[in-house]
Every structure is written in structure tokens, then in C-alpha cells.
Structure 1
């Protein structure tokens, strides 16, 4: 399971070293989309699946009030450690069951839903996002697009990276096989940390399930979003194997039951 990836737990401190971050330039484009939908600072924004908090912090620097939610204790600890002064609030929760205390003007969900494998869980996360966003609010979401992802992985099945860290030399390797019948990526990862005193190795095998536009649009619509449109990935500085959706929560839709409570 992706949930058991060492990068989410034991090696969470190295996540940003292995998964290269392009949030700085991308956030400007995401913020432009938010403004185009009337979401301006100091509006409340949910960063669903915030990881180490790069997007949450960048949006907070623009004046938004951000709540970052993630399931990983280690990633959240890293997110809090990297936050200086007033910034986002980070909350541990599972996105299939998360209930915000008050609705958000917008939600961001970046590259998270590929780790959600079964249909019920996918619907549950989409329902969570719909409850979290106030009627008329906007969701910005991206996932892996099966066809271009499969084409890319056929050509480049192996990813390798080596970086020097204060703890030693960190080597990362990921091997991907395709499961075309189910639109899945079968991944094996190895992380090796070598210092003068010792060498530590962590290995994990897990699955990612990609998406199609028809599935993404259908699940968002059933969850209560309207005006669901696909935006070219390049417009928000994403790779070409991503699906990027902008969806508006149905005006007049009943807000989440928890929205009547105060935080």
C-alpha cells in the first residue's frame, strides 16, 4: 500500500529531497485560478493531503488562511517544523472521513488521489471535498492520467536520485510496472542512507491507480460539484501526464453538517 511508503514515515524527513518541489512557481498559477473564481485573501483554503506543507505555506504567504490535512504523522511533523511564525494550521486526518469544523472557500488536492485504490474510498474522498467546500466554492485537483502516464512509464520505468544530506548520502530508486487492465502502476521503491557509521535500507512495494477524465468528472459530479472543467496541465506548470480539474461546489447545496460548529 502507498500508505506504508517509507517516504511517508521513516524517511519523511527526506520527502522533499526525493520528490522535487515546484510549488513556488506553480502556486502563482493556482492563486490566479482562485482569484478568477472570487477566492482572494484572507479566504480559508483546505490543502487536502498537504504532505510537508509546501503549498500550504506558499498560499499562507499570499495571505490565505490555510488548513493542511494529512494522514502521516511524520510528514505533518516536517510541515510544522518548516513553518516559521504565523502560517498554516496542520491537522492529522484521513480524507475519507475528515469533517471540517467550518467550510472553506476553496480546496486544493494535489496528486493525492492516485493513492486511493478502491471505488468506495474514491467516492468518500470526493464527498469529503464536497462537504469541505462552501456552496459556490472551488476545488483545484490533479491526478495521474492513465494513458500518458502509461506511455511515459513504458519509456522511463526507472527513477533514480542521489542526494547528500546532513545524515549521509541518500539514494532513491523506483521501478514501475504497468497493470493495463486496471489502470494501475505497480511500484517498488528502495531508499538507502549511507553514512560513515552505517548503511540503512528501506524497501516497499505498492500500487497507484491512475484516473481517466470520465471517471474524475463523474465522481466529482456525484459528490456535488458542478461546472467541472479540465484545465491543461501546462497552465499550472504540471507534467503532461496529469489531469487537472477545476470544479465548483453546487450553489445552494447544503453545507457540511459540521459547518455549523465553531472551530
Structure 2
């Protein structure tokens, strides 16, 4: 199944158990806090880990994701009641409705073609209030992280809340033209195996800056890691903060 961690009810809790709060969440939470009581869009919110934290910090938050099972898990989180959860994509966003938009956990890489990415940026530019901010992360292709996505280096154990342990590993199935396809394997106790496949696009810093500029954004800064490191000196990330046109 493609994107099984968000679409397969059996894998959604595995994703939550494996992807816990981290320095990326700290970064985005602190960034949003620079605009007190902001109207925040979390595009590609998944199971809502950061979304509910943003709401708990006093912001008015909308979480948007196309994956119904992931949103169902998000709605069950403590503190989820005050959040507007929307099953959909950027195409349905209202105009001028948000002060800040975030795309976390490398959601930006899911848009595999330039057309999809440009359309998403145009939607976000329309949805942000004049001068609103957009922040997102994308893995730096110069770090070549997919070379470590193999059954040996990626092998791991994921412990679920009910005490069961899931064995997991990843294998790359194709890598060319900065587009990487891979499959996650999940082996449950008793021998049941589930697969989740995906394809990600790796864009360079120059490509990201160019696409943002074309969509009407001004790039404020690009970090190479979650502590503000320079590109190439951090965590193998491109952490981008941009601002929409003051004229809307």
C-alpha cells in the first residue's frame, strides 16, 4: 500500500509509536510562537502530533490531510476538539485565512512533480494573509540520506503502546533524477507483514528558493538543521522559512 502509515489502520499506530516528538517539532512550535495567537495551517498534518501542540499553545489551528485514517487518529488525541480537521488538500484552502502555514515531517517532498509542487505553493500563497509566513522541511539531496535506507542500516524495533514489538526495515526500490522510491516493511508478532511504499522528490536549496520566488514568496532563511546550522553543516535538512507578499 502506498503511504500505508497514514492509510492503513494497522500501521497508523506504528507510525505514531516510531515518530515521536523531536527537535523538528520544537523548531516549528517556537517559530509559530513568534506570532502570538496566530491562525495556523498545518498542511499534511498526519496524525496531529504537532497540530495539537500548536493548539495547546493558544493558536487557532486547522489541520489538513488527505488520509482519513490518519485524521481519525488525530481527532482522538487529547486536545484535538478545538482544532478544525479537514480531510483534503491545499486546493480547498480559503483565501487569506492563515497567518502561518507549516508543512512538517518532509511533507514537501511528497509533491513529486514540479507542477504539483508549484500548484501547492500557489495555493499556500493564496491561503496566507498578506505577509504571512510559510515554514517547511525537506531533506538536503547533497546528504544523500537514501543511501542509508537499506535492510541492514534501517532495521529497527518499534514498541507499540500495548506492549507488542514490530520489526521494521526499509529498502530503496528506485533512485534517479533526485526522485527516490522505497518500501517500508513491518513485521508484526505472529508473522503478519504489512508494506508501505512511497516516492519522494529531493529538491536542492536553489530549486526551493526558485520555486518559492516564482510563487510570490520571499525567503527569510534556510537552515541546514534544527538548531539553525548553515546548510551542509547540520542534520542534512533544508529548513525553510519564507514570507508571502505583503500585498497578498
For Structure 1 versus Structure 2, the TM-score category normalised by the shorter chain is: 0.7 to 0.9
Match runs of 1:10-89 below 5 Å? 10=8, 11-18=11-18, 20-23=19-22, 26-36=24-34, 39-41=35-37, 43-84=38-79, 86-89=81-84
Q: What secondary structure, in the 3-state scheme, does the structure 1 residue paired with 2:154 have? A: strand
User: Structure 1: where are the runs of 5+ without partners?
Assistant: 254-263
Q: Is the 8 A contact 2:134 2:241 kept in 1?
A: yes
Alignment-derived partner of residue 174 in structure 1:
170
Provide TM-score, normalisation by structure 1.
0.81
- The correspondence of residues 1-263 of structure 1 with structure 2, limited to 5 A, is 4-10=2-8, 11-18=11-18, 20-23=19-22, 26-36=24-34, 39-41=35-37, 43-84=38-79, 86-95=81-90, 97-100=91-94, 103-110=97-104, 111-148=106-143, 150=144, 152-155=145-148, 157=150, 158-165=153-160, 166=162, 168-176=164-172, 179-180=175-176, 182-195=177-190, 199-235=191-227, 240-253=235-248
Give RMSD over aligned pairs. 2.4
1:175-204 deviations in whole A, cap 9, x for unaligned? 136624x11223122112225xxx321224
- The answer to whether the 8 Å contact 1:61/1:87 transfers is no
Q: Which structure 2 segments of 5+ residues have no match?
A: none
Distance 1:160 1:101 in 2: 44
| Aligned length, in residue pairs | 238
User: TM-score, normalising length from structure 2?
Assistant: 0.86
Distance 2:175 2:27 in 1: 33
